[in-house]
A and B are shown apart, each in its own frame.
Chain A
Amino acid sequence: DVKVTQSSRYLVKRTGEKVFLECVQDMDHENMFWYRQDPGLGLRLIYFSYDVKMKEKGDIPEGYSVSREKKERFSLILESASTNQTSMYLCASSLSRPPMGSTFGSGTRLTVV
C-alpha cells in the first residue's frame, strides 16, 4: 500500500527550539508539499518541491524552511518555534504537476509552549 509517512503524530516543543518535521513517501513522486491546517482556515501551503534540492515558497513560508536532499524525503524546519506555529502539519505528495490527486500523510499535531 503506497503511503506518505510523517515521523511524529504529536509533538510538543518549547518556544525558540529548532523543530524538524519529517515526511517520507514511497511512491517515487517528484512533487511534495507541506501544509498547515488551522480551524476555519483550511489548509494553507507552506512550501513545495518539484525535484530534489528544489523548493518553492507557498502562501505562508515565513518562519519555515525546507530540505529535500533525497526524492523520497521532504523535511519542514521551524527555525525558532513560536506559539503561533502551533498547528496541524500535513505533508503530501503527487505524481503530476499541478497535483491531480495528492496523497497525504496522517499529520503531525505540533504544540509550541
Chain B
Amino acid sequence: SQQGEEDPQALSIQEGENATMNCSYKTSINNLQWYRQNSGRGLVHLILIRSNEREKHSGRLRVTLDTSKKSSSLLITASRAADTASYFCATDFSGGYNKLIFGAGTRLAVHP
C-alpha cells in the first residue's frame, strides 16, 4: 500500500499540553500535507511541507519532515479543547502520481 500511516490512532490530553502526531509513508514524495477534520465534517488543510524542507511553522503548529526515515510529525503546542478533531497526513508521490494518498488519521481529544 502507498498509504501514509498515522501514529498514534488516538491521543487524549489535557488543555495546555502539547500534542504530537506522527506519519510514516513508503515511497518518495514531492510534499506532505496535514489536514484536520472536525467530527462528521469535511477536511481542512492545515499545512504543507515540501520534500526539501525539514521544518515548518504555522501559529501553534509545527511540522517536521525526515525524508530519510520517510516520516513526518505534527506538533500542536498549548492545545485547546477546540483542537479536538481527527488529523490526517496526505502525501503525493514523486513517481508520477497526481493525487493525494491519505492515512487513517489520529483522533485527538483535548480535555478542559
Chain A residues close to B by CB (< 8 Å): 4, 33, 35, 40-45, 48, 50, 58, 88, 90, 92, 97-107, 109
Contacts and interface: CB of A to CB of B under 8 A. Distances in A.
Contacts of A42: 3, 88, 102-105
A102 B45 contact: yes
A92 B44 CA distance: 10
B102 A43 contact: yes
A98 B44 contact: no
Closest 10 CB pairs of A and B: A104-B42, A98-B92, A43-B102, A42-B104, A104-B43, A101-B45, A42-B102, A98-B98, A106-B42, A97-B98
Interface of B: 3, 30-31, 33, 35, 40-45, 48, 88, 90, 92, 97-105
A105 to B, nearest CB: 5
A100 B99 contact: no
A72 to B, nearest CB: 17
